[in-house]
């Protein structure tokens, strides 16, 4: 199984883009993509997300990856050490890592970036937002209609931080030829709905065109946050 990838990352109204990402080919049919979104309400968000992505990249390039749990523990400890050394006691980031080995996908996830899996006319969200809003939806307290206007939608319940623990979400699944994956930060899906992302994919003959259309769609809206997307398509 082979693949093609395309990506973008742009800052929101702030001058500093606190999203960091990689799309890193490895040997054979292996590839790793990830996005880390620095927590903007805490000092050191950009440093946290940059550190997280650096640890992920080095782990896979040095061929020392074993499990998502071990990887995220390493990221967490590195952020703790960095925060202590640089007087950033509250630095924090989300992190979603997608490891592709042929048609086998392994996902590790903390925070609220999202991974979508597209096949034919369908799109499935493979991650779970670790946010206050999502928990209220899951508990039946908040309807999806009311959630669209929920005022605390950016409150996260789990992040990788130098001063607290996190909850790791993991999943595995398989892909087929012509499937597409899309990994995005919240700056994308808060503007471009799941249905709109699917429609843009169906109107795009390849992932480069798809990524360009997503970027153009967002830039013609009111951008309030950094926005990052990585698209990957499996081919014969």
What are the chain's domains?
Answer: 2-126+154-235 (3.60.40.10)
Residue 91 scores a pLDDT above 80: yes
Mean pLDDT of the chain: 93
Strand partners, 125: 116
143-158 average pLDDT score: 76
Of the listed ranges 49-58, 75-84, 154-163, the one predicted with least confidence = 154-163
Give the C-alpha separation, 184 to 115, whole Å: 7
Going by DSSP bridges, is the β-strand pair 160-161/92-93 parallel, antiparallel, or unpaired?
antiparallel
Residue 150 scores a pLDDT above 90: no
235, 1, 231: which is closest to 123 by C-alpha?
231
Which bin fits 63, alpha (ψ -120 to 50), beta or left (φ > 0)? left
Q: Taking a C-beta distance cutoff of 8 angstroms, is the pair 193, 200 a contact?
A: no
93-97 average pLDDT score: 98
Which bin fits 120, alpha (ψ -120 to 50), beta or left (φ > 0)? left
| Of 184 and 133, more confident | 184
What are the tokens at 222? 């009111």
What are the tokens at 96? 């979603």
Q: What's this model's pTM, rounded to 2 decimal places?
A: 0.95
Residue 52 scores a pLDDT above 70: yes
* DSSP designation for 129: -
Residue 200 scores a pLDDT above 70: yes
Give the number of other Cβ atoms within 10 Å of residue 170's Cβ.
13
What are the tokens at 111? 């925070």
pLDDT value of position 2: 84
Q: What is the pLDDT of residues 1-36, one digit of tens each?
A: 788 999 999 998 877 899 999 999 999 889 999 999
Rg (CA), the chain: 17
SS3 66: coil
Q: How confident is the model at residue 135 (pLDDT cuts 50, 70, 90)?
A: confident
Residue 233 scores a pLDDT above 70: yes
pLDDT value of position 81: 96
Give the C-alpha separation, 16 to 91, whole Å: 15
CA 56, 7, 202: angle at the middle one, nearest 5? 125
Of the listed ranges 44-53, 133-142, 216-225, the one predicted with least confidence = 133-142
With a CB cutoff of 8 Å and minimum separation 6, the contacts of 186 are: 37, 112, 113, 114, 154, 225
- The enclosing H or E element of 117 equals strand 114-119
What are the tokens at 24? 């890193």
Q: Looking at the chain, which runs of residues are DSSP E strands?
A: 2-10, 19-25, 30-37, 92-93, 95-101, 104-110, 114-119, 122-125, 160-161, 169-174, 180-184, 227-235
Residue 147 scores a pLDDT above 70: no
Residue 99 scores a pLDDT above 90: yes
């Amino acid at each position: 199984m082979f693949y093609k990838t395309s990506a973008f990352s742009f800052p929101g109204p702030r001058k500093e883009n606190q999203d960091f990402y990689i799309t890193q080919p490895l040997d054979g049919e292996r590839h790793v993509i990830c996005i880390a979104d620095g927590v903007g309400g805490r000092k050191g968000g950009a440093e946290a997300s940059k550190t997280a992505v650096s640890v992920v990249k080095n782990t896979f390039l040095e061929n020392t990856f074993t499990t998502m749990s071990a990887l995220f523990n390493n990221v967490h400890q590195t952020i703790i050490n960095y925060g202590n050394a640089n007087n950033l006691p509250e630095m924090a980031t989300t992190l979603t890592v997608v490891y592709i080995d042929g048609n086998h996908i392994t996902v590790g996830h903390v925070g609220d970036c999202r991974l979508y899996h597209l096949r034919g006319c369908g799109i499935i969200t493979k991650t779970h937002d670790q946010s206050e809003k999502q928990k209220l939806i899951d508990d039946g307290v908040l309807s999806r209609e009311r959630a669209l206007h929920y005022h605390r939608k950016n409150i996260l319940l789990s992040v990788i931080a130098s001063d607290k623990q996190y909850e790791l979400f993991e999943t595995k699944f398989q892909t087929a030829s012509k499937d597409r994956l899309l990994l995005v930060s919240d700056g994308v899906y808060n503007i471009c709905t799941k249905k709109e992302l699917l429609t843009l994919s169906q109107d795009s003959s390849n992932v480069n065109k798809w990524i360009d259309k997503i970027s153009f769609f967002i830039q013609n809206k009111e951008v309030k946050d950094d926005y990052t997307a990585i698209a990957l398509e499996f081919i014969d």
